[in-house]
Structure 1
């Protein structure tokens, strides 16, 4: 409730009220916007604030402290934030520094579930430098913006065939298009937001559901399941059969490495892995992985907040050659994206070991490593909120809070840079040298 209703703004009272503009007001989530406040008195302290209610009904916010220039203008792209959830000149700070509002649930995470609707963000400007109590204040001006994962014209197609379930996103236009098999991490289920964004950038992207299949109660998947998914994508009439890549994060990245090293039928043109590791997944099941981790549970560490860190388990497994994939079998370009502050998995150490294995077999020319100081485990598309630690549920429905790591500013910088490099990698290997014949 506004406590300032009807209150004169004293030094801010002038002929024209403050104007807040955000351009564009409707855009893809990886596009930048321009935030400007005009008609302020020169030298006025103001707070720019962003507020979003997630699909889980949690509120997320970010804010920055600014002082208007001699013209009475604040431009987020040009001016310094002197405090708040971010500081300095940060064009997209009002998004990437979002965090749960005070009093939110412990371990809350943010993830877009329905990609057919936008992420709605309310941008407001307040008088003075505020750090709390935004709901009790009247903003000088507000603008509602839309952030989309799905570009206009992208088709969303439910897939349920050959025992495989997922969602295929087809870019606008006549096609056919290069394809990407997209796999999320150990949380399982169907995660669509990255695939829809890939389709918005011109790739036919198949978001694969695995480990938890809703009403079927299925919790496991064999290598043949992922192979079938690859061929469903390859055989779709809107996909160029010889132009398929694989993209995975966390456990999805490890599944991707299994496919490129162990499968006799899957032959991708390239593979991008974010925060993955080259440990053999027992039975390709969450149950098998939980059992493997349970055998080494004494290696689980906790921080001062009792958040669990699993990286020492994978480090121990890496010491046993029989537990590692033979990365020397890799026959396609491989991109590894990792953060040095990953507290969940030793992904940087895994990448180094992969390099040594591939170098010994003369395959190191296929490997590209991108590693970021200060970045944690969950390296997501640009401007996504940073998750230091969130609640994680295993297939036995045991809840815990896992520490993912990273510091907000360097992690967010990594997300922006990594997404550009991943898109460029996929573009180079899947789109370059496409001839008219290849598109038939």
Structure 2
């Protein structure tokens, strides 16, 4: 009827969830075949704005369901239920070389999702939205504890799932960027693993003096987990990213104090001479999940994976190795739905300068690889660390 104004209803379900969970975005009460733009906007902890948008056309009932309808254009196209997140990019005019990372794991990422009339590509701030909603994405589930670790010369953060335990544990080692990176550890704790993330590159003591890090440092961290009253001491894994892979493999092979139940290696290589590497891979006696991107422009991770596979075949322990190799995928393989960046600023700790590093990857296949590899990482950890008779239920 003439004069009746349609009031679209925009809903996001669940409105509050972990960052690795899918959500459903639905618009109702539009006109039939009405062109609209769905727009997602968030502000990083550094104050930078990131956005994504998709063009849709409502069905005969005046509805758009992102999980079932195709985007006709925008920052992503096709049937992409989570495209509003993984296709995010800095808004026009932003600083160069940005990479989205969250430091405060107890603060939600607030994603402002809006629906606009027509197919827009810019000037969203100047337009009036038909409807808007704010969704919260969390790295930590309710009840997860965060504990600073400053004993035995260590600098790290321990995350403990809710419940009495006992729980399996993960020692989480990041790469050459240094610092204390917590978001993956918080997310693992949200899935039922006591997780210790460790700072070990560019480490300084309380007086600011550079601190030497050797095998004893990592052995102390592993020992801390084994001795924790809520940890199952024989069910501890190691997880390494980039340079953290080299540390993980070296410790798993040579340390008499570190005996991981399994290891997960992401975008890394073995840093050693050929014969030493052969000996190292032959000494590893626990399951390995090796995740690499075939367009890694930072390290030759895919080629190294082939070498490791051959070495383990010759050593007779290749049955322990699972390789996930993803085409058109770069170095920064993060938990799912994190915005992909092909390059970004990177601080060189020793040189005390910042450079632009090419990480590689194409947005769509890289984003698919992040989702697939994370699901398989969780399945791998559950397979090797959780049993019904010795470990507390993950539903606690």
Q: Tell me if both proteins adopt one fold, taking TM over 0.5 as the criterion.
A: yes
Partner residue of 1:147 out of 130, 134, 137: 137
Does 2:357 correspond to 1:402?
yes
Question: Residues of 1 paired with 2:316 and 2:324: CA distance?
Answer: 20
Shift in CA distance, 176/16, structure 1 to aligned 2, threshold 3 Å: same
Name the structure 2 match of 1:296.
none
Does 2:393 correspond to 1:393?
no
Shift in CA distance, 436/107, structure 1 to aligned 2, threshold 3 Å: closer
Name the structure 2 match of 1:421.
376
Name the structure 1 match of 2:232.
240
1:183 Cα shift? 1.0
1:256 Cα shift? 0.6
Does 2:123 correspond to 1:169?
no
Does 2:99 correspond to 1:109?
yes
Partner residue of 2:326 out of 372, 380, 401: 372
Query: How does the TM-score come out when normalised to structure 2?
Result: 0.95
Name the structure 2 match of 1:269.
261
Name the structure 1 match of 2:242.
250
**Matched residue of 1:35: which SS?**
strand
Name the structure 2 match of 1:284.
none
**Superposed, which structure 2 residues align to 1:23-422 within 5 Å?**
23-213=13-203, 216-218=208-210, 220-280=212-272, 321=275, 326-395=280-349, 396-422=351-377
1:324 Cα shift? 7.3
**Matched residue of 1:216: which SS?**
coil
The root-mean-square deviation of aligned C-alpha atoms, in Å, is 1.8
Whether contact under 8 Å (2:74, 2:121) holds in the other structure is yes
Shift in CA distance, 219/211, structure 1 to aligned 2, threshold 3 Å: farther
Whether contact under 8 Å (2:168, 2:391) holds in the other structure is no
1:345 Cα shift? 0.7
Structure 2 stretches of 5 or more lacking a match?
A: none
Name the structure 1 match of 2:385.
430
1:386 Cα shift? 0.5
**Matched residue of 1:122: which SS?**
strand
1:218 Cα shift? 2.9
Give the aligned length. 389
Query: How does the TM-score come out when normalised to structure 1?
Result: 0.85
1:217 Cα shift? 4.9
Whether contact under 8 Å (2:267, 2:332) holds in the other structure is yes
Question: Residues of 2 paired with 1:12 and 1:122: CA distance?
Answer: 32
Question: Residues of 1 paired with 2:266 and 2:15: CA distance?
Answer: 30
1:35 Cα shift? 0.3
Question: Residues of 1 paired with 2:355 and 2:388: CA distance?
Answer: 48
Question: Residues of 2 paired with 1:238 and 1:330: CA distance?
Answer: 27
Structure 1 stretches of 5 or more lacking a match?
A: 1-10, 281-318
Whether contact under 8 Å (1:211, 1:219) holds in the other structure is no
- Residues 415-439 of structure 1: per-residue CA shift (max 9 Å, x gap): 00000110011111111364379xx
Whether contact under 8 Å (1:253, 1:277) holds in the other structure is yes
1:234 Cα shift? 1.2
Structure richer in helix, relative to its length: 1
- Residues 383-425 of structure 1: per-residue CA shift (max 9 Å, x gap): 0110210111111212111111000000000000000110011
Question: Residues of 1 paired with 2:118 and 2:3: CA distance?
Answer: 14
Whether contact under 8 Å (1:279, 1:325) holds in the other structure is no
**Matched residue of 1:69: which SS?**
coil
Shift in CA distance, 323/217, structure 1 to aligned 2, threshold 3 Å: farther
**Matched residue of 1:139: which SS?**
coil
- Residues 233-289 of structure 1: per-residue CA shift (max 9 Å, x gap): 111111111110001111111211111112121001000000010014xxxxxxxxx
Question: Residues of 1 paired with 2:63 and 2:209: CA distance?
Answer: 57
Question: Residues of 1 paired with 2:12 and 2:379: CA distance?
Answer: 28
Question: Residues of 1 paired with 2:389 and 2:59: CA distance?
Answer: 51
Shift in CA distance, 187/13, structure 1 to aligned 2, threshold 3 Å: farther
**Matched residue of 2:111: which SS?**
strand
